[in-house]
Chain A
Amino acid sequence: MVWINIKRILKLGFVNFWRNGLVSVASVFAMTITLFAIGSIYLGTNFLNSALSEVKNKVDISIAFKLDAPEDQIVALQKDLTLLPEVKEVVYSSKDQELTAFRARHQDNAVLIGSLDEVGNPFGARLNIRAVDPTQYEKIARFIGTKNDPSTGGGNIIDQVSYKKDVVDKMADLINTSQRVGWAVALVLALLSIFAVFNTISLAIYTSREEISVMRLVGAGNPYVKGPFMIEGVIAGVIASLLALILLYPSVLWVRDTTVGVYGGINLVSFYFSNFGIILVLLLGSGILLGLLASYWAVRRYAKI
Chain B
Amino acid sequence: MIYFDKVCKIYSNSVALEDVTFTVLPGEFISIVGHSGAGKTTLLKMILAEDCPTSGNVYFDSVDIHKVSKGKLPLLRRRIGSVFQDFRLLPNKTAYENIAFTMEASGRPDDEIKSDIPHVLELVGLGGKLANFPHELSGGERQRLAIARAIINQPDLLIADEPTGNLDPINTAEIIEIFKKINQIGTTVILTTHNKKVIDSLGRRVITLDQGRVVRDDKEGKYAL
- Which A residues lie at the B interface, using CB under 8 A? 1, 4-5, 8, 19, 210-211, 213-222, 224
Contacts and interface: CB of A to CB of B under 8 A. Distances in A.
B31 to A, nearest CB: 21
A215 B105 contact: yes
Q: Ordered nearest first, which 6 A-B pairs have the shortest CB separation?
A: A219-B78, A220-B105, A219-B77, A221-B74, A218-B102, A219-B74
Contacts, number: 54
Q: Is the interface of B mostly helix, strand, loop or mixed?
A: loop
B88 interface: yes
B149 A1 contact: no
Contacts of A215: 90, 101, 105
A218 B93 CA distance: 15
Given A217-B82, A219-B102, A19 B92 contact: yes
Contacts of B76: 219
25 contacts: A4-B109, A4-B110, A5-B107, A8-B104, A214-B89, A215-B90, A215-B105, A216-B74, A216-B77, A217-B82, A218-B82, A218-B101, A218-B149, A219-B74, A219-B75, A219-B102, A219-B106, A219-B153, A220-B74, A220-B101, A221-B71, A221-B74, A222-B70, A224-B74, A224-B104
B88 A210 contact: yes
B92 A219 contact: no
Contacts of A211: 90-92
A1 B88 contact: no
A217 B48 contact: yes
A101 B104 CA distance: 83
B88 A221 contact: no
Interface in B54-94: 70-71, 74-78, 82, 88-92
Interface in B96-122: 101-102, 104-107, 109-110
Nearest to A224: B105
B102 to A, nearest CB: 4
Contacts of A219: 74-78, 102, 105-106, 153
Contacts of B77: 216-219
Contacts of A222: 70-71, 74
Contacts of A217: 48, 50, 77, 82, 88
A245 B61 CA distance: 58
A215 B102 CA distance: 8
Contacts of B105: 215, 218-221, 224
A258 B2 CA distance: 78
A273 B219 CA distance: 81
